[in-house]
């Protein structure tokens, strides 16, 4: 199945490379340009390291580090020089790449955005992180849902970012929209190590979906990221795991989207992604296809409220030094900027 980390690639295999990138410190435009070159050089290293590699994945915060700095001078645009450099690197090295940027958002807080670029330099996937790691992160919540694209070898790929993966609904949405491989990029530090592992595995098994996950690695003198490149098969078993915590190591594995498709069609017991919408199909024709989950109906109705909601202490970012927000989600952000 693994082909010795992708060295022996099967005809239907997709070889992934998860870069445990050294955690940078980026404070100025010069720092940003220098880190862009570091990432471009790592794309070339990935190609040299594994000629069979189809997709190289960089972690969240690969370009900006973990400072949570929202200085507009170091925020990126989709048409900016950083993204242009990433596109050129994919073309020059004939490889797909997954990248992280903190994206300028006029009239609002920046977006934490993820990109997948193909080997022709085309932007194939653009995703805005839906669940920032509050109260620590200041990013605007994503507003474009979760796209699923056709990647190498016809594989169906989705991308979520870090804390997104702690919500089982995110992985389920990826699978529901057809994803066979879900990428999860992160900047997580060591206290999250165990929950990182078991959510990567549960996200895979509960959805019959490969998950490919990687964090930043090493220290910037303040924060210590953990690496933990981790590729998990659709049955929840770990195919590859970067346990050394060595910065700039690339964790590789071959995955088989064709076997994901086979399992989703042929499995009986534990075909959870199908059975979720067809409860008890042995007893009733087609299974029950209702929605018995109160939290889902309440969320759809805009009335989501926990029994202990009024007692929750942290409901904004003031505990982490951010001002209390006054603008509601989607409220005139771009209109205010224009004025």
d(CA 128, CA 61): 13
pLDDT > 70: percent of the chain: 97
Q: Please, what is the Cα angle at 176 between 147 and 330, to 5 degrees?
A: 45
Active site residue 87: no
- What b/e sequence results for 139-150 when a residue is b if at least 16 CB atoms lie within 10 Å of its CB, and e otherwise? bbbbeeebbbbe
Distance (Å, rounded) from C-alpha 305 to C-alpha 317?
A: 20
Q: Write the CA distances from 107 to 67, 110, 188, 336, integer angstroms.
A: 21, 9, 28, 6
pLDDT at 152: 97
Strand order in the sheet with 238-241: 148-150, 156-161, 181-186, 210-215, 230-232, 238-241
Catalytic residue among 129, 173, 217, 228: 129
Give the pLDDT band of residue 245 (cuts 50, 70, 90): confident
Q: Among 76, 90, 98, 162, which one carries the catalytic annotation? A: 162
What b/e readout covers 47-65, taking b as 16+ CB neighbours within 10 angstroms? bebbebbbbbbbbbbbbbb
Query: pLDDT tens for residues 42-57?
Result: 999 999 999 999 999 9
Q: Which of 60, 82, 137, 228 is catalytic?
A: 60
Does the domain spanning 3-275 belong to CATH 3.60.110.10?
yes
> What is the rounded average pLDDT for all residues in the chain?
95
8 Å CB contact between 244 and 267: no
Write the pLDDT tens digit of every residue in 167-185.
Answer: 999 999 999 999 999 999 9
The strand pair at 55-57 and 249-255 is best described as: unpaired
Q: Where in the chain is the domain with CATH 3.60.110.10?
A: 3-275
Instruction: Classify residue 37 by its DSSP letter.
Output: H
Tokens of 8: 């022996």
Instruction: Pick left, alpha or beta for residue 332 (phi over 0 → left; psi -120 to 50 → alpha; otherwise beta).
Output: left
What does the DSSP 8-state code read for residue 279?
A: B
- Distance, in Å, from the CA atom of 111 to the CA atom of 102, rounded to the nearest integer, reads 6
User: Are 41 and 33 a contacting pair, CB within 8 Å?
Assistant: no
Instruction: Provide the pairing of β-strand 14-20 with 249-255.
Output: antiparallel
Tokens representing 125?
């996937």
Let me know: does 128 contact 137? Beta carbons within 8 Å: no
128: helix, coil or strand?
strand
How big is the chain by its Cα radius of gyration, in Å? 20
pLDDT given at position 334:
54
Q: What is the per-residue pLDDT for 333?
A: 56
* pLDDT on residue 112: 98
**pTM of the complete model beyond 0.85:** yes
Cross-strand pairs, 22: 217
Active site residue 174: no
- Whether 23 shows a pLDDT value over 80: the answer reads yes
CB 213 within 8 A of CB 232: yes
pLDDT at 264 over 60: yes
Instruction: Tell me the C-alpha to C-alpha distance, in Å, between residue 116 and each of 35, 83, 124, 242, 276.
Output: 18, 10, 6, 22, 30
pLDDT band for 1, please (50, 70, 90 cuts): low
Between CA 25 and CA 206 the distance in angstroms is 37
Confirm whether 162 is a catalytic residue: yes
Would you state the pLDDT for residue 243?
Answer: 83
């Amino acid at each position: 199945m693994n082909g010795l980390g992708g060295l022996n690639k099967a005809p239907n295999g997709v070889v992934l490379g998860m870069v445990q990138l050294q955690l940078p410190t980026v404070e100025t435009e010069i720092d940003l340009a220098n880190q862009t070159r570091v990432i471009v050089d790592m794309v070339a290293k990935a190609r040299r390291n594994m000629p069979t590699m189809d997709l190289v994945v960089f972690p969240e915060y690969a370009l900006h580090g973990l400072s949570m700095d929202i200085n507009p001078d170091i925020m990126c645009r989709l048409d900016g020089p950083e993204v242009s450099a990433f596109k050129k690197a994919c073309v020059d090295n004939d490889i797909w790449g997954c990248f992280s940027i903190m994206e300028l958002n006029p009239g609002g807080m920046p977006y934490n955005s993820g990109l997948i670029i193909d080997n022709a330099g085309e932007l194939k996937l653009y995703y805005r992180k839906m669940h920032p790691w509050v109260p620590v992160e200041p990013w605007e919540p994503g507003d474009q849902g979760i796209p699923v694209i056709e990647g190498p070898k016809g594989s169906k790929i989705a991308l979520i970012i870090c804390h997104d993966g702690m919500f089982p609904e995110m992985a389920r949405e990826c699978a529901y929209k057809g994803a066979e491989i879900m990428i999860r990029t992160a900047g997580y530090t060591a206290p999250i190590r165990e929950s990182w592992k078991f959510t990567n595995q549960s996200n895979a098994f509960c959805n019959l979906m490969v998950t490919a996950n990687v964090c930043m690695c090493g220290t910037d003198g303040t924060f210590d990221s953990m690496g933990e490149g981790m590729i998990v098969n659709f049955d929840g078993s770990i195919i590859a795991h970067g346990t050394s915590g060595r910065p700039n190591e690339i964790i590789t594995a071959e995955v088989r989207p064709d076997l994901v498709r086979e399992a989703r069609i042929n499995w009986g017991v534990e075909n959870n992604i199908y059975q979720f919408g067809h409860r008890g199909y042995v007893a009733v024709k087609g299974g029950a296809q209702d929605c018995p989950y109160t939290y889902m109906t309440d969320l759809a109705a805009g009335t989501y409220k926990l029994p202990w909601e009024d007692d929750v202490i942290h409901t904004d970012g003031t505990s982490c030094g951010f001002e209390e927000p006054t603008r509601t989600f989607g409220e005139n952000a771009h209109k205010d900027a224009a004025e």
